[in-house]
Amino acid sequence: MSKHWLASAEARRVPVALGVMVGLAALALAPVSAQTPAKTVAAKPAASAKAYKAPRTPWGDPDLQGTYSNAFENGTPMERPQQFEGRRIEDVKGDELLEIKKAAHEQALIGVGGGLHAPDFFWQTYYELEKGAQAWLVVDPPDGKIPTVTPEGRQRAVARAEARRNSGRGAADSYEDRSLYDRCITRGLPGSMMPAIYGSHYDITQGPGYVAIRYEMIHETRVIPLSAGPHVGTKIRTYMGDARGHWEGDTLVVETANFKIPYQGSSEDLRLIEKFTRYAPGRVGWSVTVNDPKTWVRPWTFSMPLTMDADAPVLEYGCHEGNYGLANILKGGRADDKKYEEFRKLGFNIRPPEISTAAEGEDR
């Protein structure tokens, strides 16, 4: 993550909520459409939250607006750890959960120390992982595990790896060999909603017929129309997909399809169904159901809470300006090329070590 640190949490604060609202107002003039999402499973809020009544916008929709963070869940594993086998996510709470989160907090501080990611104590002071609310993220299936990959999904993974090996290209021959995240282009979806070392804030802005979510990291904005109708044609694909939303009571349900890039090896048929529910003051429950029959044997759902943080507006994400990591990866690749060419001249057939093409956070 060193490539971004100059552009990160202590750099530049440029709130642009007004600009988002202007964009929403302009979009309200254009016809859009949506499609009814499939049935999903969402995390259940605490029983005490049942009495909570979400505030309303002037036009009557549940009001989700504000700046939120998921930073407390940084370090929370996606799947249920082996130590909790046979237990439900709601059973791990109180002092037991606090101890788990304290351990995650300490491990995270070790992981970002030493000046590799940023100067010591650049952002460690703001880590508060002991406030995390969950021991893991997958809530369905009940075993907390991502379902088995289908034979077709495994075949695609093998084919991708083989095509990469046969391409004759290294992992850092060019910037085009690196991930879109490394190149400051996108984290995709749901990656853009997942916690990372920094940049874990989101701004939700609403207008009549629309909801916009602005992400701090990479600085993308999703504009979600709220109306009935089909998605755009399957030939039109984007990094964040084509979103359509509607309200089910106090819950915003968003179905997104037509992704340009896969999520965890998904196919072109991937559909994500998100649910946003404001279940307590300053808290929104967010869940995602991953549905792709060509990749997994059944749909699966993960969730986490988003915590309102009015004191931390979304920052400008000057990623390209601070992206020393990408330049240094390429410089290191050229240095390796030179070194291993010298080895070959001496008669040693030694291959350079494999450089991962996945940036931190891309596996979630």
243-286 per-position pLDDT tens digit: 999 999 999 999 999 999 999 999 999 999 999 999 999 999 99
Helix, strand or coil, per DSSP, at residue 326: helix
Nearest to 211 by CA among 192, 224, 227, 228: 224
pTM over 0.75: yes
**Cα 343 from Cα 80, distance rounded (Å):** 46
Whole-angstrom distance between the N-terminal and C-terminal Cα of the chain? 15
**Domain ranges within the chain, ordered by starting residue:** 2-345
**Cα 138 from Cα 117, distance rounded (Å):** 28
Q: Are strands 271-280 and 300-308 parallel, antiparallel or unpaired?
A: unpaired
Bond prior to 62 in cis (omega within 30° of 0): no
Per-residue pLDDT tens for 104-161? 777 766 666 555 555 665 655 566 766 777 888 999 999 999 999 999 999 999 998 8
* 296: amino acid identity, one letter: W
Of 24-33, 87-96, 270-279, give the lowest mean pLDDT range: 24-33
Q: What is the mean pLDDT of the chain?
A: 81
**Cα 318 from Cα 18, distance rounded (Å):** 20
Q: Name the phi and psi angles at 49, rounded to 5.
A: -80, -15
